[in-house]
A and B are shown apart, each in its own frame.
Chain A
Amino acid sequence: MGIFVLANIWVIYAASWDFLAGYVGQVSFGHAAFLGIGGYATAGLVRYFGQPWWVSVFAGAFMAVVLGLTVGVPCLRLKGPYLALGTLAFSLILNELFQSPALQPWLGASGGVSGVPPLSPDPVVEYLVVLAFMVASLVVMISITNSRVGTVFRSIRDDEISAEASGINTTKYKLVAFMISAFFAGVAGSLFALHFRGVSPPVFGTLYSFEAIVMAALGGIATIFGAIGGAYLFTFLDTFLGDLTIGSFSLAGLSVFIFAVILVLVFRFASGGFMKPFVERLKEFIDILRGK
């Protein structure tokens, strides 16, 4: 059950990255910043302030939005690779801050926050709650991309200068997109902290930032739906490869290598992500149902 919970959390996280990169063209290399801040806010609120988990999840997401605004205002002046590096820098700063022994009384240093009570003692309830969050998050993100605002987002992705010449305040739209993406990454981080009963500084690390990209790319960029396939594949491979042993010899160290091989294969043979054909079938099917 735990692995399904984790996979669903990663779906939200991967989709939040895909929303920003695939639909607005703003590539973040530091998405773990939002994951981490959501996780820390939730863990802290539940553990030290006795808040119910659902209040904490929304508070965590809200904190991520505030961080999104803080990161977005300076970083969105940057374009392409510079934006990616700017977001990466932000996440690394947070990583350092939360590790800092000097800030131990407030941020917990390398120990982070532990002993967070679970969302529910019943794993089935936990599974259903996280599943509900996942479905709701995807529905909201997909609705946004299909709305008028979504059309403007996609126009910025295609050609920011043209969007500006079309009278669009692209900075404002990009900032809004950044905040939406941060919100859902924050939700994922909050659920992550509840699931693992705590968080520690590595949650801000590059590993988690790149996980978002890997999962979104596996499933197919600019699909949102693709995050489901990408996150499930990633989570199962990660767990399976982590546990893999031959006799007493653990193959866990091989997992990174095998991931790399799978990624290269996906990009070589299905550059739109391996979920693309399924998503397109699904769209055709929905069109048929609507009688188009």
Chain B
Amino acid sequence: MKQTLGTIFEAKNLTKRFGGLTAVNDVSFEIERGTMVGLIGPNGAGKTTLFNLISGFDSPSAGHIKFDGADITGLKTFQVVERGLARTFQLVRPFRYLTLLENVTVPSLSPRGRAASERAGIDEYASTILSSVGLVDKARIPPVVLPHGDLRRLEIARALATNPQMLLLDEPFSGLAHEESANIGKLIKNLNEEGVTIFVTGHVMRELMTLVPRVLAMHQGKLVADGTPKEVANNKVVLEAYLGRGEGYA
């Protein structure tokens, strides 16, 4: 059930400088509503900084971010979430002493979460979210005892509970075995089919290339390629960026 097309997200000349280092350098791109876009680049390319700018954890030194028709540059994180743009973290950050259900209850209490859970009630809504990522039978236990793959699912569940229009997934495959990676890939694909726009990063290309139809590539803070996975994988700058570090591609 794809939504009508049109641009949901636009970054314009985004730049972030930390002292003398330019972590994100004049990055511009657009994302169509309901699509799935990947972002690749070697470690240190600026992917996480870009995510931090978009999700309001950091404000850009220059440039603008538009989401769902409004300028969201400089908004605080919770305000960005309130517009319908949620993120996950590369290093999972569960609420350690809360049960999984409570972990998902918290975002259900955000303004969008409340609106979405109004009919079902918050507990029921949170359970539904947990079951959509396959964690509902672990609702009553705290996250400390979970394997890494489950923590990744929890991370996605928490973002989902804010009822986002678009999800920023920061390295959702990192640290996962092949089978679990494939499962997370399926989960992301399902979310997209339900209408959530997906923007997902990865530094190993394999999982991403099979998942998304369009890939952006970053290198040293700059956007160096934008196209189908095949085009990007054969892009000269991308090849050099990866081969220079001796990492695998495609």
Contacts and interface: CB of A to CB of B under 8 A. Distances in A.
B87 A165 contact: yes
Contacts of B111: 167
A195 interface: no
B106 A166 contact: yes
Interface string A159-171: 1011111111110
Contact of B107 (A157, A161, A167, A170): A167
A91 B140 CA distance: 41
Nearest to B99: A151
A162 B113 contact: no
A161 B110 contact: no
Contacts of A161: 57, 93
Nearest to B163: A167
Size class of the contact patch on chain B: 20 to 34
A148 interface: yes
A154 B97 contact: yes
A209 interface: no
Given A166-B81, A166-B162, A168-B78, A148 B95 contact: no
B98 A154 contact: yes
A165 B97 contact: no
Given A158-B97, A166-B158, A167-B112, A151 B78 contact: no
A237 to B, nearest CB: 30
Nearest to B55: A165
B94 A166 contact: no
Contacts of B87: 165
Nearest to A222: B97
B105 interface: yes
A166 B81 CA distance: 7
A169 B107 CA distance: 11
B102 A164 contact: no
A153 to B, nearest CB: 10
Contacts of B162: 166-167
B98 A165 contact: no
Contact of B102 (A151, A162, A165, A169): A151
B94 A159 contact: yes
A199 B94 CA distance: 45
Contact of B98 (A155, A164, A167, A168): A155
A148 B82 CA distance: 19
A107 interface: no
A28 B166 CA distance: 38
B209 interface: no
B77 A151 contact: no
Given A155-B98, A162-B93, A169 B78 contact: yes
Contacts of B78: 164, 167-170
Contacts, number: 75
A275 interface: no
A152 interface: yes
Nearest to B95: A158
B81 A167 contact: yes
A155 B95 contact: yes
Given A151-B98, A151-B105, A152-B106, A166 B93 contact: no
Contacts of A155: 95, 98, 102-103, 106
Interface string A211-224: 00000000000000
Nearest to B88: A165
B135 interface: no
Contacts of B103: 155
B48 to A, nearest CB: 13
A79 to B, nearest CB: 14
A126 to B, nearest CB: 39
Contacts of A162: 89, 93-95, 158
Most buried by A among B82, B86, B102, B111: B102
A57 to B, nearest CB: 33
B81 A148 contact: no
Contacts of B76: 164, 169
Interface string B31-72: 000000000000000000000000101000000000000000
Given A166-B110, A168-B109, 16 more contacts: A148-B109, A152-B106, A152-B109, A154-B97, A155-B98, A158-B98, A159-B93, A159-B95, A163-B106, A165-B89, A165-B93, A165-B158, A166-B161, A167-B82, A167-B113, A170-B78
Closest 4 CB pairs of A and B: A167-B110, A167-B81, A166-B107, A158-B95
25 contacts: A148-B105, A151-B98, A152-B106, A152-B109, A154-B97, A155-B95, A155-B102, A157-B97, A158-B95, A159-B96, A161-B93, A162-B93, A163-B95, A164-B76, A165-B55, A165-B81, A165-B86, A167-B78, A167-B107, A167-B110, A167-B111, A167-B112, A167-B113, A168-B109, A170-B78
